[in-house]
Every structure is written in C-alpha cells, then in structure tokens.
C-alpha cells in the first residue's frame, strides 16, 4: 500500500473541507437560538461575500487561489448557521401559544406509531381556529391520540382537527434520562399534544408528498401480504423491519436481544440492505452490458430500483446515504471516472445536510457515517494483515474485519448515547450474516411472487430462518457478561476517543510518527478524563429524589452502595427502567442495588435511616411529632390545611414536595415554608433533587 501525505490525502477529498465548514456552521447555529436581527446581519454578510466572489471572477477573469477558497468556506459556514437557525423554536412562535386558541388543524406527515395506550404521529399545523374564525399556523408538532377499544385508522396525509392541548415538550427531569426534548428538537418539533378520542376529528385527506404516500401505501400492502403467510408474530415483526423498514409494532424483548448482541442494525434497513439489493440488481442486469445502449439502460433501471427501495423503506439517514453513494458509483461507472469512496461519503453527507441540516444531530445519521468511515479506512488495513489461502477462512476473517471496523468507529457514539456495549458483537454479527441475507432474498422473492402456493412455502421458510436466527441470538444474549451496562462516557470523552481512533488510523495509513504522537496525546487526555469521571462516581455520597410524577423513587448512594426506595412494586418497573436506571447504573449494577417498596397509604409515615441522614416520608398527613434527627421531610399528597405543621419543623430540616401534591397545596406549603424560614425544593415539573455530601 502506497502511503499518502496528509496534504495529498486532503487534496483528494475536496468534499471533506466543504462538509466540515457547512457542518461547523450548523453546529454554531444550533448552539444558541439567534434573534431575528442577528440572522438579518449574517444573511447580509453572506450576500456580500457572494457578491465579492462574483466580482472577483467577473473582473479578474481568474480565481485567486487563496482568497477565493477562504471566501467560499466562510460562505458555507454562514449558510450552515442560517440553515439551522431559521427553523428553531424562536422563529416558530405562533398563535397556538395563546390560551384562547380552541382548535388546531393540520396534516399527518409520517406513518403513525401504534403503542399500547396511544397512537403517536407528527402533524404539520396549517390553521388555528377560534370560534368561527380561522388563521394560518406554521409549525410541526407531535400528537398523541388515546386508543379506543378498536385501533383508529390514521394514515399519512390525513387532515385532522384537534382540541388545543399543545404544550412545549418538557426537558428530562432526571439525571442521565433520555432527552426526548432534544430528540424532537432535532426533528424540528418543539410542541406536543395529547387528545382523547372525543377531542379530534378527521376532516379530509391530502396527498402530501406523492412518492412518500405511494411508498407508505405499498409498505402497508406488503405488511398485509406477509402477515397472511408468516404465521409467527415475532418472525413477522423481524421480517417487516428487515425487508421494508416497518418497525412501529416491535416488542421490547425482541428489540433487547438485538441490542444486547450488537446486531440492532439488522432491524433498521440500512446501507447493508440497500447494498444487498444493489448486488442482486447488478447480477440480474449484467447481461445488458453486451447490447447497444445496455449500460445506459442498466444505469437507469438500477438507479430507479434503488431509489424506489430507499423511498419504500422510509428514507432513514443510513438508507439515504447508501442510495446517494450507489448513485455516485453508478455515475462514475457510466462516465468511466474513478470512484473515490471517502470523497463520495463526505459528498453524500453534504447533500443530505443541504436538504435537512438537523440530520447532523440524528443518532442514526452519526452511527451510519461512522460505520462506513470505519469500513473505508480501517478495514483495508486489517484485511492486509493476514491473507488465508482457502475460501472459508478468508471470508470468515473478512466478516470479522468488517464487523470490527464498523463497531470500533461507532462504539464511542453508541456508548455515549446508550451507556452500554455488547461484548459478543463479533459472535452475533458472524452468526446473523447468512440468516439475515437469506431473509432479505426470501422477502424480496415473496414481495414479487404472485402465486399463493409458492408464497406459503416462502412464508414457512421465512419463519424457520427467523426462528433459527432469534434462537441463536438468545443464546448469545444469555452468555456471561453479554452486555456491559452503565458505562460512563461524557461528551468530552466521546470526542477524545473518536479523535484517538481517527488519528491512529491516519498514522497507520500515512506511516506518520507525528500523527501517531497526536493519537497518543488524545489517549492520555482520554485516560485522564475518564479516570476523573469514574472516580467522581465511585466516591459519590449523596441522596437523589427522582421525578417520576406521582410515584416516589429515592436513592441513597454511598461510595458504590445504593439503596432505592420506591412506591412502585419492582425495580424492573418500566418507569424506573427509563427514568432511574440510567443514573443508578453510573454507581452500581442493578443486581447490587438494594430495593425497598413502600406501600401507598394515606396517613402512613415512613422513616428511612442511613449513614447520610434520616428521611421522613409523610404520605397524606403527619401522624406523629417529627424526630429531631430528621434531615429531610418528603411531603406527598398533602392538603392546603396541612401547612400548619410547618411551624413544628426545626431549623436545618429540608423539605421536599414531590409531584403527587396538587398545585394549590404546593403554593400554600411554599408560602408557609417561606414564613417559617424552612428550606424546600419542589419536585413537580422540576429536575430531580440531588444532594451531595460535602467532603
């Protein structure tokens, strides 16, 4: 392998510089919401720079090799800022903020997601209604509709009117909790609404985007066709997700087994699936190269088929990336030009961000591009280490290198977002390589087969292959230490680890000692930062009262020893799993957490004693005098008339009011606490109470 200098490598990847400048502008624009006046200033600056560049080209008849690129990249930076700043919440404030708005009218712009109790889908608002008067609205919101006895039918393009219950999406109220507000903001959604069955009405249907509408209708028909011959529900869910991207009704157990074996990418139609379709189409159309205009016909047919599949499967970032890169490859082959894989990767990212700048913050976008970047950079190096003579060990080793290359570069992001790492990802990916490919080909065959008797046999084959794959994954999942949970990786550590991997691969490819030295510097910084982060959690002593609405969850943490007290019946309760587990895993494994349930009963008082202090939990009303040794008093379901007991609380005792208290009771209790000079913390619609014992 011929090693390239750093400058030569950059010269061969012009879209890397373009992407970095544009993405940098997006990051700057997303850091803080900009006032309209500032947007006007930078818009004017961008226009001025464009005018200067046009002037230079028109009057000097040549491009200055230094000034022109600088102006061009500054323009990209500004356009990146503008592209993401305009759609932010500050510039979406509209009449639906007003309390007097009665009804909102909008169109469903994505496939509805059916859950146990609600049906959820994004709606683009078009109008607001107050009495008989209607006025325009423009915003994208997330609407949740309560399910009835029969599942309501909602489709892409349906126009509905619903009662105005819009509220800003709240931030996470607990440490390490999934940030749903940021997740929605990255999709340009800043408001949500929940309506009951009687609070909405379907008033029509709009076609919306014609291609998307046709694709969703086709996907629905394919799901119905598969359901007639794939009799096993779990197998049907896996096939629908793997073949045409339908994941709205997946059960948690199946998702967990794929997640904990490092094979979750199989359930998200991705570049691998598009690649399989492309390979099959190439194989079928190969004969066209031998006839006149055959290459052009082959190009048009494969391009049309690939993009039809991309649209059918939902146009996720990974699928769009694969579709664009295959398009670049086909264009290069048609024009007999050399195909630069890395430059095409950066070009596809730039094109996607031009259409949707917020994709930069999409987890799927980040993981997809990091995985392919690993395949393009690290895989060739690993593949050159050992070259087995025979076919089977050679293919097996190539599969291992592919999995290692993709997993290494996605690992920092996956651990940062999900706080876990699948130990046996190699075993899991090696095992599913053949079954998942077989499922793809059988699924494609079933999709096009018009014969009912053949469809029955294909359906049986899909069930057997799927069952075999799932049983194997369940075995891998049950292996000791199959998944490492609660990994502590902050944003800084994630960036340092990514830079470490990047510079290490660059030093290997370019044979550069300087770049290797920089990689070692990043390794040192990462080690120091992660050690400090780990030490902070392992030595933490304190109390955390989590916000889980009307229920209670209190954790006493003392240097890795954790006790959890809750009104919920088990530590595996879904509310604890989603809102408390992510934080507690930073301090101890869940099987090491001591769990105590307290029964909810009005008038019951509980005293929790610990080395950190004593907490009195008052549920309803105080039955006995407050002990002098009490450090915290947690009030639940209190009434306004109970405020008089605050006069008996001694100085130094801290009062906590959780989400079970009414707004009126909290208001009166806070007023009395202020009068009695008692410190307090209101948990309702607020972040969790965190107390750390001073050193």
Interior angle at CA 144, CA 238 and CA 237, nearest 5: 5
Average pLDDT over residues 416-443: 84
pLDDT digit string, tens, across residues 132-176: 788 888 888 999 998 876 667 888 888 999 988 888 899 999 998
Q: What is the largest CA-CA distance in the chain?
A: 97
User: Is a pLDDT exceeding 60 seen at residue 405?
Assistant: yes
User: Is a pLDDT exceeding 70 seen at residue 1?
Assistant: no
Average pLDDT over residues 177-199: 88
The DSSP annotation for 14-58 comes to HHHHHHHHHHHHHHHHHHSPPPHHHHHHHHHHHHHHHHHHHHHHH
Give 313: exposed, middle or buried? Use CB within 10 Å, 0-12, 13-18, 19+.
buried
Pick from 389, 384, 413, 417: nearest CA to 401: 384
Collect all residues with Cβ–Cβ distance below 8 Å to 219 and sequence separation of at least 6: 111, 244, 245, 246, 312, 313, 314
Write down the pLDDT at residue 4: 59
User: Is a pLDDT exceeding 60 seen at residue 9?
Assistant: yes
What confidence category does residue 604 fall into, taking pLDDT thresholds of 50, 70 and 90? confident
The DSSP annotation for 571-590 comes to TT-HHHHHHTHHHHTTTS-G
Tell me how far CA of residue 198 lies from CA of 114, 130, 163, in angstroms: 18, 18, 9
Sheet architecture: strand order including 553-558: 594-597, 561-566, 553-558, 541-545, 689-692
User: Is a pLDDT exceeding 70 seen at residue 456?
Assistant: yes
Q: 3-class DSSP state for residue 659?
A: coil
Place of tokens 């009166």: 668
Write down the pLDDT at residue 249: 64
Tell me how far CA of residue 465 lies from CA of 234, 439, 631, in angstroms: 12, 7, 60
Average pLDDT over residues 450-465: 89
Write down the pLDDT at residue 526: 92
Distance from C-alpha of 436 to C-alpha of 446, rounded to nearest angstrom = 15
pLDDT digit string, tens, across residues 350-401: 988 988 888 888 888 888 888 889 888 898 898 888 888 888 888 888 888 8
| Cα-only R_g, the chain | 29
Kindly report the pTM of this predicted structure. 0.81
Average pLDDT over residues 515-523: 93
Average pLDDT over residues 180-197: 88
Write down the pLDDT at residue 332: 77
Write down the pLDDT at residue 301: 85
Write down the pLDDT at residue 97: 54
Name the more confident of 399 and 264: 399
Tell me how far CA of residue 674 lies from CA of 211, 613, 649, 657, in angstroms: 61, 23, 12, 14
% pLDDT > 90, the chain: 16
The DSSP annotation for 128-152 comes to EEETTEEEEEEEEEEEEEE--SS--
Write down the pLDDT at residue 93: 47
DSSP β-ladder status, 118-130 and 113-114: antiparallel
Name the more confident of 333 and 610: 610
What confidence category does residue 640 fall into, taking pLDDT thresholds of 50, 70 and 90? low
Q: Which residues pair with 105 in a beta bridge?
A: 127, 161
Among 201-215, 453-467, 677-691, where is mean pLDDT lowest? 201-215
Write down the pLDDT at residue 247: 66
Name the more confident of 551 and 254: 551
Pick from 478, 569, 20: nearest CA to 256: 478
Average pLDDT, the chain: 82
Give 337: exposed, middle or buried? Use CB within 10 Å, 0-12, 13-18, 19+.
exposed
The DSSP annotation for 171-203 comes to PP-STT---HHHHHHTTT--EEEEE-GGGEEEE
pLDDT digit string, tens, across residues 83-123: 877 655 444 544 455 556 788 889 998 888 877 788 899 99
Interior angle at CA 554, CA 550 and CA 556, nearest 5: 175
Name the more confident of 183 and 59: 183
Ramachandran quadrant class, 85 (left: phi over 0; alpha: psi -120 to 50; beta: rest): alpha
Distance from C-alpha of 285 to C-alpha of 306, rounded to nearest angstrom = 13
Distance from C-alpha of 217 to C-alpha of 156, rounded to nearest angstrom = 9
Give 170: exposed, middle or buried? Use CB within 10 Å, 0-12, 13-18, 19+.
exposed
Write down the pLDDT at residue 122: 92
């Amino acid at each position: 392998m011929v090693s390239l200098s750093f400058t030569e490598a950059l010269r061969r990847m012009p879209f890397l510089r373009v992407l970095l400048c544009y993405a940098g502008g997006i990051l700057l624009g997303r850091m803080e919401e900009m006032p309209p006046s500032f947007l006007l200033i930078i818009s004017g600056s961008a226009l001025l720079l464009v005018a200067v560049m046009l002037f230079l080209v028109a009057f000097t008849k040549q491009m200055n090799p230094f000034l022109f690129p600088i102006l061009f990249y500054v323009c990209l930076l500004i356009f990146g800022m503008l592209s993401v700043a305009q759609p932010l919440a500050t510039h979406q404030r509209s009449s639906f903020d007003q309390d007097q708005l009665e009804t909102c009218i909008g169109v469903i712009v994505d496939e509805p997601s059916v859950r146990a109790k609600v049906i959820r889908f994004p709606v683009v608002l078009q109008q607001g209604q107050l009495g008989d008067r209607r006025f325009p609205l423009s915003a994208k919101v997330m609407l949740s509709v309560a399910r009835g006895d029969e599942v309501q039918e909602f489709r892409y393009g349906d126009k509905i009117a619903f009662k105005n219950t819009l509220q800003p999406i709240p931030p996470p109220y607990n440490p390490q909790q999934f940030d749903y507000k940021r997740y929605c903001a990255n999709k340009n959604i800043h408001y949500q609404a929940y309506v009951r069955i009687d609070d909405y009405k379907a008033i029509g249907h709009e076609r919306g985007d014609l291609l998307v509408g046709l694709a969703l209708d086709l996907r629905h028909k394919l799901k119905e066709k598969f359901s007639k011959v794939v009799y096993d529900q779990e197998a049907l869910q896996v096939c629908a997700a793997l073949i045409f991207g339908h994941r709205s009704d997946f059960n948690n157990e199946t998702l967990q087994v794929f997640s904990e074996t490092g094979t979750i990418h199989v359930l998200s139609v991705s570049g691998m699936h598009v690649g399989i379709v492309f390979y099959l189409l190439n194989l079928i159309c190969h004969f066209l190269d031998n006839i006149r205009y055959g290459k052009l016909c082959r190009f048009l047919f494969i391009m049309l088929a690939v993009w039809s599949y991309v649209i059918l499967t939902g146009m996720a970032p990974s699928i769009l990336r694969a579709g664009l890169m295959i398009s670049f490859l086909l264009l290069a082959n048609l024009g007999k030009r050399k195909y630069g894989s890395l430059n095409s990767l950066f070009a596809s990212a730039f094109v996607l961000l031009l259409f949707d700048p917020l994709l930069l913050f999409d987890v799927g976008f980040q993981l997809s591009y990091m995985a392919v970047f690993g395949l393009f950079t690290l895989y060739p190096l690993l593949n050159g280490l050992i070259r087995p003579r025979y076919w089977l060990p050679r293919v097996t080793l190539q599969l291992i290198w592919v999995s290692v290359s993709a997993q290494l570069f996605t690992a920092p992001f996956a651990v940062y977002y999900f706080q876990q790492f699948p130990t046996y990802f190699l075993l899991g990916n090696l095992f599913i390589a053949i079954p998942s490919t077989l499922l793809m080909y059988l699924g494609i065959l079933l999709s096009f087969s018009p014969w009912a008797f053949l469809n029955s046999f294909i359906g049986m084959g899909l069930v057997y292959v799927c069952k075999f794959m799932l049983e194997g994954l369940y075995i891998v999942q049950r292996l000791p230490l199959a998944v490492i949970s609660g990994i502590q990786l902050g944003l800084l550590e994630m960036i340092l680890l990514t830079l470490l991997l990047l510079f290490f691969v660059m030093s290997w490819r370019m044979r550069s000692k300087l770049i290797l030295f920089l990689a070692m510097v990043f390794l040192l910084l990462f080690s120091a930062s992660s050690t400090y982060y780990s030490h902070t959690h392992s030595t933490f002593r304190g109390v955390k009262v989590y916000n889980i609405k009307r229920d209670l969850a209190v954790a006493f943490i003392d240097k890795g020893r954790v006790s959890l007290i809750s009104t919920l019946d088990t530590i595996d309760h879904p509310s604890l799993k989603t809102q408390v587990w992510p934080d507690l895993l930073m301090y101890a494994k869940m099987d090491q957490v001591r769990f105590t349930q307290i029964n909810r009963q009005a008038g019951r008082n509980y005293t929790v004693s610990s080395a950190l202090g004593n907490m009195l939990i008052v549920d309803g009303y105080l039955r006995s005098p407050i002990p002098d040794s009490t450090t915290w008093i947690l009030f639940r379901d209190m009434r306004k008339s109970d405020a008089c007991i605050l006069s008996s609380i001694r100085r130094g005792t801290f009062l906590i009011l959780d989400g079970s208290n009414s707004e009126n009771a909290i208001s009166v209790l806070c007023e009395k606490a202020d009068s009695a000079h008692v410190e307090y913390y209101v948990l309702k619609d607020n972040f969790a109470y965190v107390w750390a014992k001073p050193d």
